Amino acid sequence: MYIYKTEILKVGVKFWSDKANDEDAAALDELLNRRASEGWELAAYDYMATSSQIKGAFIITFRKAQ
């Protein structure tokens, strides 16, 4: 049996593209490594762009055994 934790990681402001960049990837890596050190395992993630293409976010779900 697992317990799950979902977080939203907001990314930097985008003016010409809604795509993630190197800074966004570094922030995601930092969060993944921090949660892994706490015993959480990545279960799923998705990048969610906004319709205005200004600001998006990663939605990340972690799991760990109870």
Q: Which amino acid is at 22?
A: D
Could you read off the pLDDT of 14-55 as tens digits, one per residue? 655 656 678 888 988 999 999 999 999 999 998 877 666 567
Tell me, what amino acid is at 48?
A: M
**What pTM does this model have?**
0.78
Name beta bridge partners: 4.
63
Sequence spans of domains, the chain: 2-65
34-62 b/e with 16+ CB inside 10 Å = b? Answer: ebeeeebeeeebeeebeeeeeebbbebeb
